[in-house]
Amino acid sequence: MNKFTPAKPAGARSVDEITASRRLRRMRKADWSRRLVRENSLSVNDLIWPIFIIEGKDRREPVDAMPGVFRLSVDQAVKEAERAAKLGIPALATFPKVEMGLRDRTGAAILDPDNVINRATRAIKEAVPEIGIITDAALDPFTDHGHDGILRDGIIVNDETVEQVTAAAVLQAASGSDIIAPSDMMDGRIGAIRDALDANGFQDVAIMSYATKFHSAFYGPYRDAIGTAGLLKGDKQTYYLDHANSDEAVREAEQDLAEGADMLMVKPGLPYLDIVRRLKDEFAMPTFAYQVSGEYAMVKAASANGWIDGEKVMLESLLALKRAGCDGVLTYFAPQVAEVLKG
Ligand code: PBG
């Protein structure tokens, strides 16, 4: 006998004695019983699809690090919105890649009622009124330094940025945006936006706060998609949350809710499941996660190499976000997921 083979000791207990007959595998024995006790599920109703918008007509530019993702001219975005609505996707989140010549120190072009994001909102709302539109009021697509706020003497100035973001939010609402989702992490932005929306007759426009947006390396491909990667000087640590922190995330969410946020968002997604769970338990509010560009890119890259089953990982990662407490997820996979769930 091999001396390393563990011997069953004389008088050893049987498994039924060890478990007191509580065999947890019983309910896993068949597909029907697994389905019966399944606690969470993913549906098309959980999906928000982020799309990138560019100037021009009939343009679809592939984003290098995000296979399957395109920058779309407004007419193409309308087509994709029609497809999304047919698939049952509840809402789109739009992000512009602004022409370089239109970017400046303060991101002034965000205050143009006819900028590409506001035109996209109007065109989509006209063609596909049944789909929800979520717009970001952060300045980064519009600044020539790639920061989310106004840069003065090396500092992202808070209060001036809040004024600009607030004015942009009102213009977005006037263009037909249903939800303002400010991602800039300035202090006081939620309350300021709520006041301004209400004062301008947009009481029904909701606010999804990027309450806990972490300083993260997972945003890389997005910055390439909107053309800020080469512009950004320094990093965003003075305004995004330190990714070492969790209590601070709770304080951020609490503050945004006190200021009038209707929904909370955690960003990135999968590496921050603990934050999702804490916020859901603490506040019981509609809670979302943004499965960001780097998360998407990792799945696509590994899948393209044949190292993982991309479709299964996509579905598992989204279900994990649901299990953590998300009511929905912003994900570049949205149309693909909707197709898979339909089929
Ligand atoms: C900035 C913004 C970011 C993303 C959306 N808006 C982060 C950043 O560039 O710092 C990231 C989205 C993604 O990575 O998919 N306001």
pLDDT at residue 10 in the model = 87
Whether the Cβ atoms of residue 92 and residue 81 lie closer than 8 Å to each other: yes
Q: Is 118 in the pocket of ligand 1 (CB under 6 A)?
A: no
In this predicted structure, what is the pLDDT of residue 1?
A: 52
Q: Is 242 helix (H, G, I), strand (E, B) or coil?
A: coil
Name 147's Cβ contacts closer than 8 Å, sequence gap at least 6.
139, 140, 156, 232, 233, 236
Q: Which atom of ligand 1 is nearest to the CA of 221?
A: 14
The mean per-residue pLDDT over the stretch 268-296 comes to 98
Residue 2: predicted pLDDT: 59
pTM (2 decimals)? 0.96
Binning pLDDT at 50, 70 and 90, where does residue 45 land?
A: very high
Which are the contacts of 82, defined by CB distance < 8 A and separation ≥ 6?
A: 127, 128
Please give the number of the atom of ligand 1 that sits closest to the Cα of 240: 10
Nearest Cα residue to atom 11 of ligand 1: 219
Ligand 1 pocket test: pick from 292, 317, 329, 333 the residue with the most ligand atoms within 8 Å of its Cβ.
292
Task: Decide if domain 41-342 falls under CATH 3.40.50.1000.
Answer: no
- Per-residue model confidence as pLDDT tens digits over 163-195: 999 999 999 999 999 999 999 999 999 999 999
CA-wise closest residue to 46 among 257, 267, 325, 274: 325
